[in-house]
């Protein structure tokens, strides 16, 4: 499994080599193979931590990144999180077979709001256990949750054995915020990584997220973030 970077190390990287914290993201439904090829080439050039892509493109990305350090991250239950648990498990298993190294799964927001915490816990646990050796991040979609729900969700992710909590899909009404990162870090302590995603388009914002407690940045504007760090 990929090493979970500590917050101390993340802060050092954010100052010196922020590319190594970035999941370079392309999840829009209209993405083409040509665009994914370009994404992979840029990921190699800028030494991003990973590319985060839809499952359909895993084989293509694997071909372009065969001899690169860049990892392949994909999404499960994306973007709503409302698919059946067994579907999420199947997605994760198939993604792993194709070559994905990290899984970003969307939490069942409805179950969380219905206070069916056992359902949320069991689903995350099933996905984590379905892909042993892969790093699993759980997307909370914070813009839809109260602060209390965010805290409960973080506690559930901890108990379920996943490796990261993630702020957002980037497809709903809000993305990562400093306040949310601080809240999540307070709940999970040093036990989980935190991925800030959604609306991060420049180095200043990315750096603020890391200072608040993020250890990974999900961004489609990865190049702008890295080039901004050199100004």
> 166 catalytic, yes or no?
yes
Q: From the candidates 23, 71, 104, 137, which is the catalytic residue?
A: 104
195 labelled catalytic: yes
Distance CA 153, CA 227 (A): 34
Identify the active-site residue in 11, 71, 150, 166: 166
Q: Which residue of the set 71, 88, 137, 195 is catalytic? A: 195
Q: Which residues of 14-49 are buried (b: 16+ CB within 10 A; e: fewer)?
A: beeebbbbbbbbbbeeeeeeeebeebbeebbebebb
Indicate which residues carry an active-site annotation. 104, 166, 195
């Amino acid at each position: 499994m990929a090493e979970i970077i500590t917050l101390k190390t993340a802060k050092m990287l954010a100052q010196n080599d922020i590319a190594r914290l970035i999941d370079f993201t392309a999840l829009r439904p209209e993405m083409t193979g040509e665009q994914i090829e370009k994404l992979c080439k840029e990921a190699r050039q800028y030494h991003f931590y990973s590319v985060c892509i839809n499952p359909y493109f895993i084989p293509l990305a694997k071909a372009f990144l065969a001899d690169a350090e860049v990892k392949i991250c994909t999404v499960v239950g994306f973007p709503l999180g409302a698919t059946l648990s067994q579907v999420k498990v199947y997605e994760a298993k198939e993604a792993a077979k194709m070559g994905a190294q990290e899984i970003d799964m969307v939490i069942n927001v409805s179950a969380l709001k219905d206070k069916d915490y056992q359902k949320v816990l069991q689903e995350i646990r099933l996905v984590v256990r379905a892909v042993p050796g892969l790093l699993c991040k759980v997307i909370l979609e914070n813009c839809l949750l109260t602060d209390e729900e965010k805290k409960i969700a973080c506690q559930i992710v901890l108990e379920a054995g996943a490796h990261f909590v993630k702020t957002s899909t980037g497809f709903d009404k809000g993305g990562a915020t400093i306040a949310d990162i601080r809240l999540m870090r307070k709940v999970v302590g040093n036990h989980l990584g935190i991925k800030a995603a959604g609306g991060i388009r420049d180095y200043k914002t990315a750096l603020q997220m890391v200072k608040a407690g993020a250890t990974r940045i999900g961004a489609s504007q990865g190049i702008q973030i890295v080039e901004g760090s050199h100004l």
